[in-house]
């Protein structure tokens, strides 16, 4: 089974190509093919996962040489170990459910076929990234998922905002990818290989110093900052919500944005070799988690709240990586993939029913959409971190890892973010489902979504409930089997009772839920009043900390100004002086040439023509057509010959 | 005594008469006849030279007989052409036979 792991990557690619080229003639325009392919891939992944679960040290690496530079060889290969097996299951399961869900959500879309082709293509690219056994292949998958993300964010490209959001996402992530690529190049030039195991081996031999390793790790992390939307490159993710909601669930919540975290986990040995890089990413993650959580407090677009929440949770994962909790970060990635996909798909179901994104216009939907409500409740409890839902276990793990790193400030910040998360999720939950309907018309038209949408919701709800239990011990087990050394902090001694962290995190979550309940349900304190009291912070949050404005005024505007000036320079100097000048000179030269040609060359040619005309006009007089005349000429010539001959004879005679 | 010169003068006179005829005649038949005269001038030359330089041989006479035969053949072809021309063009004047002239 593991030997044929390349099929996991190959099948979605084939399905994407088939749907793209022959989708029209396939059942349901290719959707059935896409779903079946993903189903097979999912079963395959689960098989691999179970094999690795039984024997975590069973690492398979299949690789074929791709190309070589001198003595350095680059491979194209598949690496199946605990980390990639876990990720395979996450990607294929969420992708499979989204494929099914999209049947209902995208039913009437005119570009249904293309949507499924893109979706399959994305899955292929993501799996390519996941199973890569070297940095270069990972980078290829990395860029391909970026492309798929661009195509799907701008899927409804008739909307200017959608196509702009696609470009913004693409360009913003590219900024980070430059760092990623520089990191890869540095690794290649310093170590001469890109294979994960070889790189790790050579680093452990001490081929590069700790500082170099740290800097390279940070360069790689730049890519993660772009892809996983870390501050300050997080600006694209809220805008990416312009895409279809299932896409947001798959790409911008569960899988692609987690690629950065996966990459950090994959190249963790580099970060460990230069420990200052871990500290930096811990702070970046913390900052991201905090800023995004506060932005989510005031957002009114249901998908944007979830997007900020995603950014915040990604920050959490990066924080976990930074404080040495590699397994905890991956665990949170897994549970987050399930419950955040569920939140997005639930939101999609709500949007499908109400045709609005604004939570101010919703309310009371629990009566209309029973199944969606149940699923959403599960996701809400999971992300808030309530026992026994999945989020509780993973968040708890992260908090514990943070506390173990002996950085109490980070710990309390993380706890505060957990509180904020519970608060804004409860706000969303209450405003959408529980409170009195605020827009009667929307409420009356709301209806439960079709089965193809509710079944994936319920499956994910179940996963959100049980994933924590199931994976709490298996994820560290899987990751300990890595080619990587065991976690440095895992063995550090506990100096506090083991119930402390769960108690603190539960307290924070309950406090958040309770406060939110007070404000939005009991209306003990009016939300508007709080907003007007703290009007300056409120507006700052609404403006998303002015990150967009900062970029517009500090980067886009100056770049624009420079581009305009350069355009003027280009126009005046290159165009007018350079190109036009050369053109002018050419015209003048050709005019001279033309005159020369007309008057000298042509006349020379004409003279020969005229000469031959003249000659022939004389000669033609001789050609009378009368044989008798010709005989006369012959006689005449003969006479001349005779005279010439006789003359010589005369001379001889005279002698 | 008749010498070679007498024959040559006679032959030259016949040649000139023949050429004159060829050039001046406008009728094809006249031209053909003039050509026959030229042949005869040649024949006289051939026979005369043979007689005076190689009295025992008969090469010149033999050659003259060939020329006469050829002349007869030529007259046959020529006259049949004349007939064909006359049937088609109803004339024998060389100036008028100019249908090939562009």
Tokens matching residue A4: 């044929």
Give the nearest partner residue to B94 out of A626, A632, A635, using CB atoms: A626
| Cβ neighbours of A240 (radius 10 Å) | 31
B19 vs A: CB within 8 A: yes
B23, B28, B30, B98: best to mutate for the A interface, most A CBs within 10 A: B23
Binding-site residues on chain A for chain B (CB distance < 8 A): 625-628, 631-632, 635
Give the nearest partner residue to A635 out of B19, B100, B101, using CB atoms: B19
B16, B22, B38: best to mutate for the A interface, most A CBs within 10 A: B22
Distance CA A596, CA B94 (A): 54
What is the biggest distance separating any 2 CA atoms in chain A, rounded to whole angstroms? 156
CA distance B74 to chain A (A): 18
**Which position has the token pair 């994960």?**
A196
CA end-to-end span of chain A = 124
pLDDT of residue A485: 45
B95–A632 CB contact, under 8 Å: no
Distance CA A604, CA A611 (A): 11
Is residue A114 within 8 A of residue A255, CB to CB? The reply is no
Across the 655 residues of chain A, what is the mean pLDDT of every consecutive 10-residue run?
84 92 84 91 92 85 84 86 91 93 89 91 94 92 93 91 92 93 92 89 88 92 92 90 91 91 92 90 93 90 92 93 89 93 92 87 85 92 89 90 86 92 92 85 84 90 89 82 46 67 90 89 81 84 85 89 92 87 93 92 92 92 82 89 78 68
DSSP H stretches of helix in A299-359: 302-322, 326-354
B19 chain-A contacts, CB cut-off 8 A: 631, 635
A627 chain-B contacts, CB cut-off 8 A: 94
A626–B23 CB contact, under 8 Å: no
B98–A632 CB contact, under 8 Å: no
A632 chain-B contacts, CB cut-off 8 A: 23
pLDDT of residue A526: 79
Give the nearest partner residue to A628 out of B23, B98, B100, using CB atoms: B23
pLDDT of residue A405: 83
Q: Is A28 exposed, middle or buried (0-12, 13-18, 19+ CB in 10 A)?
A: middle
Is residue A260 within 8 A of residue A317, CB to CB? The reply is no
A628–B19 CB contact, under 8 Å: no
Nearest Cα to Cα of residue A102 among A406, A347, A453: A453
CA distance B61 to chain A (A): 28
A628 chain-B contacts, CB cut-off 8 A: 22-24, 31, 94
| Cβ neighbours of A236 (radius 10 Å) | 24
Length of chain B: 102
This prediction's pTM:
0.76
Angle between helices A326-354 and A82-105 (to 10 degrees): 0
pLDDT of residue A247: 92
B23 vs A: CB within 8 A: yes
CA distance B37 to chain A (A): 16
B95 chain-A contacts, CB cut-off 8 A: 626
B94–A625 CB contact, under 8 Å: no
Task: Place B68 in a pLDDT band, splitting at 50, 70 and 90.
Answer: very high
């Amino acid at each position: 089974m593991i030997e044929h792991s390349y099929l996991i990557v190959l099948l979605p690619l084939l399905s994407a190509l088939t749907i793209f080229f022959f989708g029209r003639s396939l059942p349901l325009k290719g959707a059935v093919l896409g779903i079946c392919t993903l189903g097979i891939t999912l079963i395959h992944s689960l098989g691999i996962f179970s094999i690795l679960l039984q024997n975590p040290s069973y690492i398979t690496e299949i690789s074929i040489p791709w190309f070589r530079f001198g003595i350095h060889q680059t491979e194209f290969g598949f690496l199946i170990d605990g980390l990639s097996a876990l990720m395979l299951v996450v990607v294929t399961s969420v992708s499979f459910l989204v494929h099914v869900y999209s049947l209902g959500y995208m039913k009437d879309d005119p570009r249904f076929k293309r949507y499924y082709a893109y979706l399959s293509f994305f899955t292929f690219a993501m799996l390519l990234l996941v199973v890569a056994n070297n940095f270069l292949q990972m980078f290829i998958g990395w860029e391909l998922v970026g492309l798929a993300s661009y195509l799907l964010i701008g899927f409804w490209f008739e909307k200017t905002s959608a196509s702009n959001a696609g470009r913004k996402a693409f360009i913003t992530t590219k900024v980070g990818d430059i760092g990623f690529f520089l990191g890869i190049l540095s690794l290649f030039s310093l170590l001469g290989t890109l294979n994960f195991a070889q790189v790790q081996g050579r680093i452990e031999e001490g081929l590069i110093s700790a500082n170099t390793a740290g800097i390279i790790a940070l360069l790689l992390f730049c890519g993660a900052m772009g892809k996983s939307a870390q501050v300050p490159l997080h600006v694209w993710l809220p805008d990416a919500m312009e895409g279809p909601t299932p896409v947001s669930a798959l790409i911008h919540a569960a899988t692609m944005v987690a690629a950065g975290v996966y990459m950090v986990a994959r190249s963790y040995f580099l970060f460990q070799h230069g420990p200052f890089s871990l500290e930096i990413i811990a702070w970046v993650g913390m900052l991201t988690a905090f800023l995004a959580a506060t932005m989510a407090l005031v957002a009114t677009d249901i998908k944007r709240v979830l997007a900020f929440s995603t950014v915040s949770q990604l920050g959490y994962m990066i924080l976990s990586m930074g404080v040495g909790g590699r397994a905890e970060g991956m665990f949170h990635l897994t549970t987050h993939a399930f419950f955040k996909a569920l939140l997005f798909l639930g939101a999609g179901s709500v949007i499908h029913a109400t045709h609005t994104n604004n939570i101010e216009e919703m309310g009371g939907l629990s009566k209309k959409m029973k199944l969606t409500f149940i699923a959403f409740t599960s996701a809400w409890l999971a992300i808030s971190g309530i026992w026994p839902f999945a989020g509780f276990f993973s968040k708890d793990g992260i908090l514990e890892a943070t506390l173990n790193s002996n950085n109490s400030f980070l710990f309390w910040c993380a706890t505060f973010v957990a509180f904020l998360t519970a608060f804004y999720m409860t706000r969303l939950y209450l405003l959408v489902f529980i409170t009195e309907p605020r827009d009667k018309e929307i409420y009356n038209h709301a209806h439960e979504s079709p089965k193809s949408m509710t079944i994936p919701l319920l499956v994910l709800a179940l996963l959100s409930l049980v994933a924590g239990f199931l994976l709490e011990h298996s994820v560290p087990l899987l990751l300990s089997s890595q080619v990587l050394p065991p976690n440095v902090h895992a063995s550090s001694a506990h100096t506090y009772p083991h119930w402390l962290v769960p108690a603190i995190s539960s307290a924070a979550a309950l406090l958040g839920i309770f406060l939110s309940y007070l404000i939005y349900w009991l209306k003990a304190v009016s939300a508007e009043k709080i907003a007007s009291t703290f009007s300056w912070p409120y507006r700052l949050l609404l403006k998303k900390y002015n990150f967009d404005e900062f970029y517009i005024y500090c980067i886009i505007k100056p770049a624009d100004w420079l581009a305009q000036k350069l355009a003027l320079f280009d126009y005046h100097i290159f165009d007018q002086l350079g190109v036009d000048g050369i053109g002018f000179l050419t015209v003048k030269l050709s005019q001279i040439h033309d005159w020369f040609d007309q008057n000298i060359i042509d006349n020379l040619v004409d003279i020969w023509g005229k000469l031959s005309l003249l000659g022939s006009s004389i000669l033609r007089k001789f050609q009378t057509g009368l044989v008798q005349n010709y005989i006369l000429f012959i006689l005449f010539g003969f006479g001349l010959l005779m005279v010439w001959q006789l003359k010589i004879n005369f001379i001889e005679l005279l002698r | 005594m008749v010498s070679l010169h007498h024959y040559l003068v006679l032959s030259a006179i016949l040649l000139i008469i023949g050429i004159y005829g060829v050039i001046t005649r406008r009728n094809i038949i006249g031209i053909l006849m003039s050509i026959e005269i030229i042949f005869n001038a040649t024949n006289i030359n051939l026979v005369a030279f043979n007689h005076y330089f190689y009295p025992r041989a008969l090469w010149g006479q033999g050659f003259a007989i060939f020329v006469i035969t050829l002349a007869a053949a030529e007259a046959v072809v020529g006259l049949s052409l004349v007939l064909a021309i006359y049937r088609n063009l109803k004339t024998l004047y060389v100036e008028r036979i100019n249908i090939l002239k562009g």
